[in-house]
Amino acid sequence: MDGPLLRIPGGHGLVNRRKPSWGGDPVPLPSLEDIRTASQRCADVAVRTPLLPYLGPDPDILLKLETLQPIGSFKLRGVYNWATQLTPEQREQGISTTSAGNTAQALGYVARHFDVPSRTLLPETVPDAKLNAITAYGVEPVKVTVEKLFSYMLKEGWRDEPYCYLNPWGEPQMIAGSGTVGLEILEDASVDTVYVPVGGGGLAAGVGSAVTAVNKSVKIVGVQPEGCPALKESFDRGEGSWVSPTDTICDGTNVPLIVTEMYPILRDVIDEVVIVPEKVVHRAVRELALLNKVVSEGSGALALAGALCTDPEVRGKSACVVSGGSVDPDLFARIVQASA
């Protein structure tokens, strides 16, 4: 068995750090019809975000501004698409997920839309700013240790609960909802490359599926911070893999694993992985703020950072998904002021 083992308190057994397993079949690629249907559903709550020029020195970069969604993140698309496919009776039992960030906020927004309860499991170390943002949407936070959080996810602890659980990484309806981002990009512009931030892989899987279905010649580049390169590790090993994450401002993509169910779809739709130094992420956050007047979290700026790390002649006309703007205001101020 590769890699060290993590013992879960409470008799839940062992988790292999190097070979995560969810125990299910590989997540299927959403079809173009799935994504178009999701687009029609999401029109009830999500906005069609603009694709605007990056106002830096490179005129061939476009920004897909998912920060302009009602909750400030692309997650609203997928969570709503998933929730619409539950029966009213299922929704009335409540909806839940495992998230300390944008997924939990989207869940709360959608729960309010349907007037049902919501909750999320999250690490007990969650910063107050994130906790307050989640509870502002009416979500009940359930704090647990990181070990118990991963045990709950990997060992499907939600099956013993009445709440309808949203898998934040491998839910097909959520991936189809995320795919609407890619569909809109190709409807609005002709591009050579699309840059997408990668955490658990849902956004990249959805965008990649949509773009590949419409135009196979467009290159899909997944972008990760150098502190948490789980997708690159997985591609290097040829299987879903764990890494040991380090500090990064990209907390939304600071996911230390690609689960085995997600690996095949990511392998099929992502052409390249770019690993971005932390200083370039800071630069991208600053330039989005100062040049485009866009507030972005670190993970939200990852795609632009990936494009900035690539030779313009290699990437050509590029679209970067600015995925979210849930950033601690003090951290954001420090990053922006550092350029002054």
Number of other residues whose CB lies within 10 A of the CB of residue 36: 16
Please say if the pLDDT value at position 80 is more than 50: yes
Average pLDDT over residues 80-95: 96
Between these two residues, 37 and 28, which has the higher pLDDT value?
37
Q: What pLDDT was estimated at residue 339? A: 62
Mention every residue, 6+ apart, whose C-beta is less than 8 A from residue 283. 305, 308
Q: Report the alpha-carbon angle 256-86-269, nearest 5.
A: 40
Q: Are 117 and 110 in contact (CB under 8 A)?
A: no
Q: What is the pLDDT of residues 112-146, one digit of tens each?
A: 999 999 999 998 888 787 889 899 999 999 999 98
Q: What is the pLDDT of residues 298-321, one digit of tens each?
A: 999 999 999 999 999 999 999 999
Where do the domains of the chain lie, and which CATH numbers do they carry?
Answer: 32-73+171-337 (3.40.50.1100), 77-165 (3.40.50.1100)
Name the 3-class secondary structure at 230: helix
- Label the pairing between strands 5-7 and 14-16: antiparallel
Q: What is the pLDDT of residues 256-294, one digit of tens each?
A: 889 889 999 999 999 999 999 999 999 999 999 999 999
Please say if the pLDDT value at position 2 is more than 60: no
Q: Report the alpha-carbon angle 302-305-309, nearest 5.
A: 140
What is d(CA 143, CA 145) in angstroms, rounded to the nearest whole number?
7
Q: For residue 7, report the phi and psi dihedrals to the nearest 5 degrees.
A: -85, 125
The one-letter code for the residue type at 300 is: G
- Is the pTM higher than 0.85? The answer reads yes
Please say if the pLDDT value at position 41 is more than 70: yes
The one-letter code for the residue type at 101 is: G
With DSSP H G I counted as helix, E B as strand and the rest as coil, what are the percentages for the chain, rounded to 5?
Answer: 45, 15, 40
Give the rounded percent of residues in the chain with a pLDDT score beyond 90.
Answer: 73
Q: What is the pLDDT of residues 218-245, one digit of tens each?
A: 999 999 999 999 999 999 999 998 898 7
Q: What pLDDT was estimated at residue 146? A: 82
Q: Are 179 and 144 in contact (CB under 8 A)?
A: no
Name the 3-class secondary structure at 190: coil
Average pLDDT over residues 138-163: 87
* Token pair belonging to 304: 């632009």
* Residue in the block written with tokens 């409540």: 94
Please say if the pLDDT value at position 10 is more than 70: no
Q: What pLDDT was estimated at residue 292? A: 98
Q: What pLDDT was estimated at residue 340? A: 53
Q: How confident is the model at residue 160 (pLDDT cuts 50, 70, 90)?
A: confident
Mean pLDDT of the chain: 89
